Amino acid sequence: MAHYNVPIGAYAHGPLVTVRLDQPVSDVHSLLEERNISAVPVVDASGSPLGVISRTDLLRVGTPRPKERRTTTVLVDLPEKTAKDIMHPGVVSMPSDATVAQAATKMVHDRIHRIFVTKDGVLSQVFGTREVMMAIYESRVTTELGEVMTKKPFTIPATATLADATKRIEQAHTQGLVVVDEEGWPVGVYTQREALLARGDSATTPVELRMSHSLLCLNVKVPLYRAAAHAAGTRARRVLVVDEKQAVGVVSGLDFARLARG
C-alpha cells in the first residue's frame, strides 16, 4: 500500500508534449509516432488546455465505413482536418501531490489510460498506466496473473484482412487484438497503432503483414510485480497470459490500475 500513497509527481514523466488547435491531424499522428505516445493535449494560443487527441480519435475519424462489407480501397485515410475538429473536449488532470491510488481510481472510473499532471496549476507531466506498473512493481505484489486477468482476449487469425481486424477493434471497443496462427498460438498484436500505420494499404492485406511482433507473453502463475516490471520495461500496454501454449487471458493497463486503487 505504501507505494500507492506516493505522490504521482514521483512517477510522472515529462516535459509534456502539446499540439495547437490549428495543427493538421496528419501532424498530430506523426508527433504521436515520433514521441511514442498514445495521446496529446490540445492547447490554445496562451497554452491553456482545451482537449485531448488519442489514437482512438485518429482511428475514429480516419476509418472509412463503406456500405459494402468488402472493399479494396485504402483502409485508413486521415482527413484534412485540424486538432480542433477532432479533439475530445476537456483534459483530465490532477496536481502532482495527488496519490497513485487517487490517480488509479480516476483512470479506472473514467476508463482512461493517463492523467495529465499539474504543477502550480500548469500542465507539466503525464502519469499513465506504465507509471502505475512501476508502483505495483515497487510494492512487490505477489498475486498471480491468472487471478486478475480478463479471460478470453480478443483474437483474430493471422490470415484475416486489415479491414476485418480494424473493424473488430472498433466493434470490441478495444485498443488491440492478439493475432493467432492456425493452432491458436499468439504470434503478434494488431493495435490502433498498427491500424494507423497501415493507412494507405489495401483493406484486403493480411493482418499478419502489418501486425507488431512485439508481444509480451507470460505464464498464468507469474506474480504481478514481475509482470508489471516486464510490461513497463518493454513499454507493452498489455500482458498476454498463457497456459499450456494457449492464450487464456490478458492483463491490460487498466487492470493494473484497478490493483493500485488500494
Name the percent of the chain lying above pLDDT 70: 93
Is the torsion defined by CA of 59, 61, 64, 66 positive or negative? positive
pTM of the model: 0.81
Q: Return the C-alpha cell found at 219.
A: 505464464
Residue 184 or residue 5, greater confidence:
5
pLDDT in tens, 160-218: 999 899 888 888 888 889 899 998 888 889 988 888 888 778 888 999 999 998 889 99
Q: Evaluate if residue 29 carries a pLDDT over 60.
A: yes
DSSP, residue by residue, the chain: -GGGGSBGGGT-B-SPP-EETT-BHHHHHHHHHHHT-SEEEEE-TT--EEEEEEHHHHHHHH----SSS---SBS----S-BHHHH-EE---EEETTSBHHHHHHHHHHHT-SEEEEEETTEEEEEEEHHHHHHHHHHHT---BHHHHPEES--EEETTSBHHHHHHHHHHHT-SEEEEE-TTS-EEEEEEHHHHHHTTTSBTTSBGGGTSB----EEETT-BHHHHHHHHHHHT-SEEEEEETTEEEEEEEHHHHHHHTT-
Please give the Cα distance from 138 to 136 (Å, whole number): 5
* 99 CA to centre of own chain: 22
- Nearest to residue 232, comparing CAs of 131, 102, 128? 131
CATH number of 2-139: 3.10.580.10
Which one is predicted more confidently, 103 or 56? 103
pLDDT tens sequence across 100-154: 999 999 999 999 999 999 998 889 999 999 999 999 999 999 999 999 998 778 8
Is 68 a residue whose pLDDT tops 50?
no
Q: Is the model more confident about 85 or about 183?
A: 85
Quick one: pLDDT at residue 105? 96
Specify the domain boundaries for CATH 3.10.580.10 within the chain. Answer: 2-139, 145-259
Class of CATH domain 145-259: alpha beta
Residue with cell string 492485406: 205
If you count them, how many residues does the chain have?
Answer: 262
**Per-residue pLDDT, 75:** 59
What is residue 186's predicted lDDT score, i.e. its pLDDT? 87
Asked if 19 contacts 27 with a C-beta cutoff of 8 angstroms, the reply is: yes
